[in-house]
Amino acid sequence: MTLDQDSYKLITMVWLVLALLGFIVLKTVNLRPLAWFLVLVLAVFGCFVTWFHRVPDRNVVADPSAVTSVADGKVVIVQKAYEGEYLQRECIQVSVYMNFFDVHANFWPVDGEITYYKYHPGHYFLAFQPKASEKNEHSSTCIKSGKGEVFFKQIAGTFARRIVCYSTVGENEKKGQQCGIIKFGSRIDMFLPLDCDIKVKVGDKVRACESVIAVL
């Protein structure tokens, strides 16, 4: 397991602020058990922030026809939907909601070439609400494999205030490599061809790289 490459500065800043707060607490709180308890709480929070930005090692599904999950979390939507931003056609939408304790690093779902990327500023509604897909801050990416196109959105939630996406149009990417991270609560919408074989249902728990969402 490693840490997200974009998050080292944030993690360092958090620990510096927590160290300063801990120093202030130890200097100003006369009741020593209380002071050390507060320092412990600060340290636990720092550990959580560090752990949150983890990028785990995963066993990637090798089948080139298999579309793996972009994110860890719970499947909240499986439905037919019109994708009007880039594909301009009916698709099968599969949405995965990430809570605070899920891995928030995201991973390429197939091998292929990045054919589209766009960042959209927006609101911060609860990520599991349907309107979050269009109204919230999000990044959109399309990756084209030899078996078909997969379009997905990284969607910010109420507490997620930064989306990091490593998409570059024209680049070729490998399934299971990190494609970004969404910080503090979020959702992924995946749009798949109508003729694919969907392998998940609403309520399923999925893991990025290892859970097959569909077979193209």
Q: Which residues are catalytic?
A: 186
CA angle 111, 114, 116 (to 5 degrees): 145
Please report, to the nearest 10 degrees, the dihedral formed by the alpha carbons of residues 107, 168, 115, 151 taken in order. Answer: 30
Strands 148-156 and 66-68: unpaired
Count, residues in the chain: 216
SS3 152: strand
10 Å CB burial of residue 141 (0-12, 13-18, 19+) is: buried
Strands 197-198 and 66-68: unpaired
Residue of 137, 74, 71 whose CA lies nearest to 104: 71
Which amino acid appears at position 215 of this protein? V
Residue of 111, 114, 173 whose CA lies nearest to 140: 114
CB 216 within 8 A of CB 190: no
Tokens of 165: 């996406």
